[in-house]
Structure 1
Amino acid sequence: MMQAMTAKELEYVADSMSNEDLLIKQCAVAAATITNVQLQQACSHMVDVHTQQYTTLLNAIQQHQSMAPTQPQS
């Protein structure tokens, strides 16, 4: 059975989610403003890649929530 994440691991996942969110936004802006079709498609693809990574991290947080202790550990 998988163990609940530590506070440090949760911080790392949260930071990673923030980074992925920023990359999604930056790639979306680039895709909307670039006129070169190939570069535009590459940026759109990167939006999809980073969205998938964000979702994977979100799922990890949600799994943690279901197995995390509900009371402070002594």
Structure 2
Amino acid sequence: MYNQGNQAISGKELSYITDSLKNEELLTKLCVQGAVECQSPSLKQTLAHLSQERLHNISILMNTLQQQSGITH
């Protein structure tokens, strides 16, 4: 188990976070690719918005991993 303040997470939970991070990265790439390639302005805007949401989720997951591992910028 890894401790963060009063919270402890297991190796399995860290594995879930890592898997989620990989999934968010893939979704981001797919949204960006779709936004670049699509012809519909509204769909392009939706995909661009979704890619920004995915990037935000990546940031949250990375911060969580950094906190758990003690890594700081």
What is the TM-score with the length of structure 1 in the denominator?
A: 0.84
Larger Rg: 1
In structure 2, stretches of 5+ residues that fail to align are: none
Which aligned runs of 4 or more in structure 1 are off by greater than 6 angstroms?
none
In structure 1, stretches of 5+ residues that fail to align are: 67-74
TM-fit CA distance, 1:30: 0.3
Structure-2 change in CA distance of 1:28 and 1:44 (3 Å): same
Aligned to 2:27: 23
Aligned residues: 67
C-alpha distance in 2, partners of 1:33/1:53? 23
The letter for the 1-side match of 2:69 is Q
TM-fit CA distance, 1:4: 3.7
Q: Percent identity?
A: 33
The letter for the 2-side match of 1:28 is V
- Greater RCO between the two (CA within 8 Å, min separation 6)? 1
